Amino acid sequence: MNLVDRPSPNFNDRPADKPVSILLLHYTGMKTAAAALERLCDPAAGVSAHYTVDEDGTVYVHVAEDKRAWHAGVSYWAGETDINGISVGVEIVNPGHEFGYRLFPNRQLDAVADLCLGILGRHAIPPHRVLGHSDVAPGRRQDPGELFPWQDFAARGVGLWPGPSSAPEPPDILTLQRQLRDVGYDCPESGIADAATAEIVSAFQRHFRPGQIDGIADAETAGCAAALLQRIPTK
């Protein structure tokens, strides 16, 4: 792996009482890699990540893993809101949905996978807590987005994939809401297919059923959620 030091001043101490338990993937969402690197290291911007992986596979190291980098913003997963405090953040260079979302080159993905496997080897992060920014901030964020090959990464040992799944018919909405909450999403349990639920369903689809991202809780989405839950160990 081609590691390059590019330190960022944007970090602080992690909470003393909680171990690192999430690996959070992003895309940079800026026009160029240079602009993203500059922002992630700019004290005035107040944002960072532990690493940025460029499209050529170069890995820029910004913040030590034992420090709290600032990449998640307002976010939630499985009862936790200080996601920065308990996660390692990896930025993947891509202009994103705003500036021309495009396929991640293979050499970039190979570097991301290598980096992630190293991180997973250094921290007790279970497969079901390898997440995208869109999972923890569904209304605000779409990254790393539906072009990120989550299924392939799960096969490489990075993350969890529900596998073949089906459900005979569209679900009872309250059942699906509870399943998505059990997965970790900040899903309402209203029993109503409201706008907040559609945001969560879209986020789930973006990660686990990227063929159709419409926020509609169809039978396949429900099947994926049920299959995923079966693979997540109960607490």
d(CA 143, CA 134): 5
Q: Which residue, among 157, 177, 182, has the nearest Cα to 235 in the 3D structure?
A: 182
Q: Which stretch binds Zn ion (CB under 5 A): 8-16, 99-107, 140-148, 174-182?
A: 140-148
Please name the residue that has the structure tokens 């190293």: 118
Nearest approach, Cβ of residue 106 and Zn ion (Å): 22
| Interface stretch with Zn ion, choices 22-30, 153-161, 211-219, 222-230 (CB under 5 A) | 22-30
Residue type, 152: D
Q: Is 156 left (phi over 0), alpha (psi -120 to 50) or beta?
A: alpha
Q: ω before 144 within 30° of 0 (cis)?
A: yes
Q: Which of residues 206-235 bind Zn ion (CB under 5 A)?
A: none
Q: Spot the catalytic one: 38, 65, 80, 91.
A: 91
Partner residues linked to 61 by β-bridges: 5, 51
Number of residues that bind Zn ion (CB under 5 A): 3
Q: Which two tokens stand for residue 182?
A: 């059990």
User: Please, which residue, 137 or 228, has the CB nearer to Zn ion?
Assistant: 137
Q: Which is nearer to Zn ion, 7 or 73 (CB)?
A: 73
Question: Quick check: is 91 catalytic?
Answer: yes
Q: Give me the least distance between CB of 116 and Zn ion, in Å please.
A: 15
The token pair at 92 is: 């993947």
CA distance 99 to 37: 16
In this chain, which of 143, 186, 199, 218 binds Zn ion, going by CB under 5 A? 143
Supply the minimum distance, in Å, between the C-beta of residue 36 and Zn ion.
11
Interface residues for Zn ion in 99-138 (CB under 5 A)? Answer: 133
62 binds Zn ion (CB under 5 A): no
Dihedral pair phi/psi, residue 155, rounded to 5°: -65, -30
Which of the ranges 18-26, 30-38, 148-156, 199-207 carries the binding residues for Zn ion, by CB under 5 A? 18-26
Could you give the residue numbers annotated as active site? 91
The contact set with Zn ion (CB under 5 A) reads 26, 133, 143
